[in-house]
Chain A
Amino acid sequence: MNRQAQAAILFLTGAALLHAGFTNLYLRYVKAGLQPLLLASGAVLIVTALATVWYEWRGRRNGDAEDHDHHQQGQGDAHGHGDTHGHADGHLHGEGHVHREPRISWLLVLPLLALILVAPPALGSYSAMRTGTALQQPYGYDKLPADGPLDLNVVDYATRAVYDHGRSIAGRPIRITGFVALDRTGAPYLVRMALNCCAADAQPVKIALTGRIPPVLEPDKWLEVTGTYTARRTKDPVNNGPIPYFRVTSASPVPTPKDPYDESWNN
């Protein structure tokens, strides 16, 4: 790979990172807190690409004038380490010469294409049903508003239902948003993936649905369900983790939230 191609890949990778960081695209893959780092590294990659092009261009321009000098240094330098290193670095003075990186650098094209062309969606029902629920006992519970319908997230409802035995939420109308996942038997779950750093460590928290479930449920579609707490529970077949039930009274489709993951565990 020559320097122009390297500069192109560096530039595109940097631009892709900036693009992902400035839009909400990055939230599909990493936690929100990484945004400044993403933008900074994207900028560094672009600067590196520009510097590569600049030194290449300057080197070529000065190449003829300084050839003699370079030749002198070049010989000494090259003999010094040339024989121990297989790959021709051609770098003596960065100019005129070809610098070939190992072929493995070509692989950097793959994530670039994946990010620019495909932009894969956030993890959904497929990974959720393959991984056990990650529900954990919390330190404590936030105070809930005294009256009116409760807006809870999946993790909040599940922890209160399982570890607080529904004390703070029983008998009240509750609204929860999550995506649909179906297990092998077709039983519906409302799921939210909880994320700590990046999608590689994302883990699902699941709520089983009962009551007036919409007749047709499509996996991965986001739903806002309204209903009430029920003491019924089940176990996740994958890791024996507790899964509380939720009695649905109504459900309506909603767009995918800005941050598809639950990041409440990050703080």
Chain B
Amino acid sequence: MAITKPAPTAKPAPTGADRHEPVRTAPGPKPEETPGVGRETQETQDFPQAKGALKGNSAPDASRSPEDNRSPEGKDSRSSLVLTMVLLLLVLLQGPIRGALSAPVMQSWMTVFVAVLVQALPFLVLGVLLSAAIAVFVPPAFFARALPSRPALAVPVAGMAGAMLPGCECASVPVAGALVRRGVTPAAALAFLLSAPAINPIVLTATAVAFPRNPEMVVGRFVASLLVSCVMGWLWQRLGRTDWLRTPERSHYEGPSKSAAFWNSVRHDVMHAGGFLVVGAMAAATLKAVAPASWLRTAAQNPLVAILALAVLAVLLSICSEADAFVAASLTQFSLTAKLAFLVVGPMIDLKLFAMQAGTFGRGFALRFAPATFCLAIAGAVLTGAVLL
């Protein structure tokens, strides 16, 4: 049976071989569907006639849902075409587009949008390289030996191990994904995911620099972040169900050779997590450009509201964990505990991270995990603040 790809321009004609290809016909969750990005993804969807034609061509197969009937080849030959068309169109329409984008709001939006991405991409690439290396070159047995076999103990160990990943939160999502795939118990991998961006030396140093008069903020941040990530790990171990967690396909990490598998994994993760990063950056840029800053002043007057307000702000702004301490320090009208909440919540959950977690572990997971993290992070910050600050 020949499994060769038709030339890109060839008319897709499903053959017997195609229909027996189990990977393609497999029904199951469609992880690539994401809410909130409808408009942008439209361009790849609006080929109803072509789709219909494909449906007509392929022999009916009871095991396929209509959704799955789209032939990958048909879609595929189109994607290069769509890319070319989109690029061409945008180059041709440069003038009008520039005009529309020259309004101050739009300029500020675009600057923040590009800035978030330019800043996050190097860390994403770092995380993706690390995760590919873990997935391809580190044998699963290594983690079995390195981590305690009892999950309850593995959680704090993995949480502490987060201190070894220097970088911001964009790097930790792909690495945590690779750990889960490598057989690390999810509870431990999640503790690592939450703690790494907050307690690594670079971030703690930045915090110390931003709060020269309050060294206890550094201790508070370390303690609260570690505490919350361990509690989240244990919570997942008790309540978490494996079917909430969509472990990423193993197949990306296999290939004819190790280097092929490595680059395949890098390509896949950059494209995948990168797409979600764009969603997060758009949300963050919108808030930075549009939301009025004056509501913060009102919020600062009530101590409890202040804590909540800064926690929400941390989620919305999606600032890199290496820089958030400086922003927190500039929110002078807020209490130290409220600032601590900002510093604990930000690296664990924000718009950008939520989008990336949804991409890596599935939407069902992110919808449950994010609110729990948010509440626990606030509780942890308040508790630590009450004791230390």
Chain B residues touching A, range: 35 or more
Q: With A and B bound together, what is the CA distance between A125 and B105 in angstroms? A: 11
Q: Kindly state whether residue B252 has any CB partner on chain A within 8 Å.
A: yes
**Total of A-B residue pairs, C-beta within 8 Å:** 329
A residues near B329, Cβ cutoff 8 Å? 136
- CB-CB nearest in chain B for A123: B111
Q: With A and B bound together, what is the CA distance between A204 and B105 in angstroms? A: 17
Contact of B319 among A26, A47, A200 (CB under 8 A): A200
Q: With A and B bound together, what is the CA distance between A41 and B116 in angstroms? A: 15
Which of A1-9, A160-168, A250-258 touches B? Answer: A1-9
Contact mask for chain A residues 28-56; partner B; CB cutoff 8 A; 1 contact, 0 none: 11100010011011001101110110010
Contact of A78 among B22, B108, B284 (CB under 8 A): B22
B6–chain A nearest beta-carbon distance, Å: 9
- CB-CB nearest in chain A for B123: A37
Which of A84-92, A145-153, A172-180, A222-230 touches B? Answer: A84-92
A65–chain B nearest beta-carbon distance, Å: 11
Q: With A and B bound together, what is the CA distance between A108 and B273 in angstroms? A: 10
Residues from 22 to 40 in B contacting A, C-beta threshold 8 Å: 22-34, 37, 40
B residues near A10, Cβ cutoff 8 Å? 267, 270-271
State the interface size on chain A (CB cutoff 8 A): 103
Residues from 234 to 272 in B contacting A, C-beta threshold 8 Å: 249-252, 254-256, 259-260, 263-264, 266-268, 270-272
Q: With A and B bound together, what is the CA distance between A50 and B45 in angstroms? A: 28
| Contact A106-B320, Cβ < 8 Å, known A5-B79, A198-B118 | no
Q: With A and B bound together, what is the CA distance between A84 and B249 in angstroms? A: 9
29 A–B contact pairs at CB < 8 A?
Answer: A2-B80, A6-B267, A9-B83, A13-B274, A38-B121, A38-B122, A52-B267, A60-B5, A67-B4, A74-B3, A81-B249, A83-B28, A85-B23, A86-B26, A86-B29, A88-B26, A93-B256, A96-B5, A104-B276, A104-B359, A107-B41, A110-B278, A111-B118, A122-B111, A196-B322, A198-B320, A200-B285, A200-B320, A201-B317
